[in-house]
Amino acid sequence: MFHLIAKPLKGKRKKLLDETEAKLRAAGVEYDLTVTARKGEAGELAEGFSHEEDPTIVVVGGDGTLNDVVCHLDPARCKLGLIPAGTGNDFAAAAKIPNGIAALDLILNGTPKQTDYIQFPGGIRSLNIAGIGIDVDILLRCERSKLFTARSKYFFSLLASLMKYRGCKMTVRANGKEVTGKFLLAVICNGRQFGGGIPINPPAVLDDGKLELLYVDCPKPLKIPGALIKLMRGKVLGLPISHFEEVEEAEFLPEKAETAQFDGELFEAPEFRASLRRDLLMYRG
């Protein structure tokens, strides 16, 4: 049984949902479809479907809807598929899941593959990238803004963060080492990119049994814009203030409670303990 969970879609994305249903009917696949009406509903549905025998949950949406589902499904019982229909679709890039109806072909004709993910306390998970820092500061400013379009919100929030962000004081623990400092950002990565295409972790492989830890020392205020430009161009690993290593688990201990992002979703994180899990089966390239 295929359970399709879709966020509300418009325009071309609504057409994708119509094409998906038509193709499933033509293939004789039994399915149901729920278009979510509120935040958190996708996770509730995934948790309920996990009690069935051998369910396949197919997300028609972006990284946020996918994250909600992954946080609530039972990896031991469910297979997971994704038809990208979000704004950034960052995880789909690492998973080699094509855009459009071709993603459904991957599910109908392929075999689900073991896929790593990141587990956090409190049932929070991340398939892609999670962390603390200036990227979260920008997202928080976007969330609080009420005046602009989505693109304008991000632009003005970015400007505000460049002028006001002064780093996060925290301790980073991994591979038997402990480093305390003030950081521009600290992330734990399974996927390759975040923020709608920023290639922060090009070496990513989704089933290699490894996560990647990246933390960047916070430079002086006048040098923050240059460091952020390097980050957005995918060149942050080349900076001497960047620290990168492979891990199976890592811990960030902020001096005070911070908001963290998990695949772009924001949660309060008084502590941030990440560990590798390898028990998810997902249709991907």
Average pLDDT, the chain: 92
Terminal Cα-to-Cα distance of the chain (whole angstroms):
22
pLDDT level of residue 148 (50, 70, 90 thresholds):
low
Q: Is the pLDDT of residue 150 over 70?
A: no
Residue 85, φ and ψ in degrees, nearest 5: -150, 35
Helix segments in the chain, DSSP class H:
12-26, 41-49, 63-72, 90-95, 102-109, 134-144, 150-164, 224-232
Q: Topology of 129-278 in CATH?
A: Tumour Suppressor Smad4 (2.60.200)
Q: Is the pLDDT of residue 149 over 70?
A: no
Q: Which residues contact 236 (CB under 8 A, 6 or more apart)?
A: 200, 214, 216, 227, 230, 242
CATH architecture of 2-110: 3-Layer(aba) Sandwich (3.40)
| Residue 233, pLDDT score | 87
Q: Is the pLDDT of residue 5 over 90?
A: yes
Extents of the domains making up the chain? 2-110, 129-278
pLDDT level of residue 9 (50, 70, 90 thresholds):
confident
Identify which of 127, 262, 113, 244 has the alpha carbon closest to the alpha carbon of residue 190.
127
> How many C-beta atoms surround the C-beta of residue 43 within 10 A?
20
Give pTM, 2 decimals: 0.93
Tell me, yes or no, if the two domains 2-110 and 129-278 fold the same way: no
More confident site: 85 or 158 = 85
Identify which of 70, 160, 55 has the alpha carbon closest to the alpha carbon of residue 115.
70
Q: Is the pLDDT of residue 228 over 90?
A: no
